Amino acid sequence: MNKIVEKEYFSEKVVKIVVEAPEIARSRKAGNFVILRVGEKGERFPLTIAGADPEKGTIILVVQTVGVSSSKLAALQPGDFITDLVGPLGKATHVEKKGTILAAGGGVGIAPMLPIVEAFKKAGNRVVSVIAARSRDLIILEEQIREWSDDVIVMTDDGSYGRQGLVTTGMEEVILREKVDECIVIGPAIMMKFAALLTKKYNIPTLASLNTIMVDGTGMCGACRVTVGGKTRFTCVDGPEFDAHQIDFDEMLMRLGGYRNEEKQAFDNYVHQCQCQKEKP
Amino acid sequence: MSIDPETIKKERSAGWREELRSKTKNKDRVAIERVHMPELEAEIRVHHQDREVNRGLTLAQATLEATRCMDCVTPTCIEGCPVSINIPKFIKYIESGDILSAASTLKETNALPAVCGRVCPQEKQCESRCFYVEKLKKPPVAIGYLERFAADYERESGSCNIPETLPPNGIKVATVGSGPAALAFAGDMAKYGYDVTVFEALHEIGGVLKYGIPEFRLPNAIVDFELENLRKMGVKFVTNFIVGRTATFDDLKEQGFKGFFIGSGAGLPRFMEIPGENFNGILSSNEYLTRVNLMGAHSDDSDTPILRGKNVAVIGGGNTAMDSVRTALRLGAERAIIIYRRSEVEMPARVEEVKHAKEEGVEFMTLCNPVEYFADKNGRVNRMRVVRMGLGEPDASGRRRPMVIEGSEFDLDVDLVIVAVGVSPNPLVPASLPGLNVSRWGTIIVDEDKMQTSIPEMFAGGDIVRGGATVILAMGDGRRAAEHMHSFLMTK
Ligand SMILES: Cc1cc2nc3c(=O)[nH]c(=O)nc-3n(C[C@H](O)[C@H](O)[C@H](O)COP(=O)(O)OP(=O)(O)OC[C@H]3O[C@@H](n4cnc5c(N)ncnc54)[C@H](O)[C@@H]3O)c2cc1C
Ligand code: FES
What are A37-46's pLDDT values in tens digits?
999 999 999 9
CATH architecture of structural domain B269-423: 3-Layer(bba) Sandwich (3.50)
Give the number of other CB atoms < 10 A from CB of residue B413: 13
Residue A280, pLDDT score: 52
Give A-chain residues touching B273 at CB under 8 angstroms: 232
CB contact under 8 A, B287 and A223: yes
CA distance A99 to chain B (A): 30
Residues A233 and A203 both lie in one domain: yes
A77: amino acid identity, one letter: Q
Give the ligand 2 atom nearest the CA of B269: 3
Residues A162 and A59 both lie in one domain: no
Residue A281, pLDDT score: 46
Total of domains in chain A? 2
Residues A15 and A149 both lie in one domain: no
> CA-CA distance, A185 to A116, in Å (whole number)?
10
Residue A138, pLDDT score: 86
- Fold assignment, B5-157: Fumarate Reductase Iron-sulfur Protein; Chain B, domain 2 (1.10.1060)
Reported confidence tier of residue B169, pLDDT bands at 50, 70, 90:
very high
Among B273, B304, B324, most A C-beta atoms within 10 A, so best to mutate, is B304
Reported confidence tier of residue A276, pLDDT bands at 50, 70, 90:
low
Pick the CATH number of B172-267+425-491 from 3.50.50.60, 3.10.310.30, 3.30.1370.60, 3.40.1640.10: 3.50.50.60
Residues A112 and A227 both lie in one domain: yes
> Of B395 and B461, which is predicted with more confidence?
B461
By a Cβ cutoff of 8 Å, what residues of chain B touch chain A?
A: 201-203, 211, 239-242, 245-248, 251, 267-269, 271, 273, 277-281, 283-284, 286-287, 290-291, 295-296, 301-307, 378-380, 426-428
Residues of chain B with CATH 1.10.1060.10: 5-157
B113-147 residue pLDDT tens: 999 999 999 999 999 999 999 999 999 999 999 99
> CA-CA distance, B185 to B482, in Å (whole number)?
5
Residues A128 and A68 both lie in one domain: no
Q: Which residues pair with B39 in a beta bridge?
A: B54
Write the burial class of residue A81 (CB in 10 Å: 0-12 exposed, 13-18 middle, 19+ buried): middle
Write the burial class of residue B235 (CB in 10 Å: 0-12 exposed, 13-18 middle, 19+ buried): buried
> Which structural domain, as residue segments, surrounds residue A147?
100-256
Q: What is the ipTM of this complex?
A: 0.91
Residues A72 and A107 both lie in one domain: no
Query: What is the average pLDDT across A191-216?
Result: 94
CB contact under 8 A, A41 and B426: no
Residue B492, SS3 per DSSP? coil
Reported confidence tier of residue A277, pLDDT bands at 50, 70, 90:
low
Asked if residues B320 and B328 have their Cβ atoms less than 8 Å apart, the reply is no
- Relative to beta strand B172-176, strand B416-419 is unpaired
Give the ligand 1 atom nearest the CA of B428: 41
Residue B161, pLDDT score: 72
Looking at residue A23, which CATH number applies to its domain? 2.40.30.10
Residues A133 and A243 both lie in one domain: yes
B193: left (phi over 0), alpha (psi -120 to 50) or beta: left
Indicate yes or no: pTM above 0.90: yes
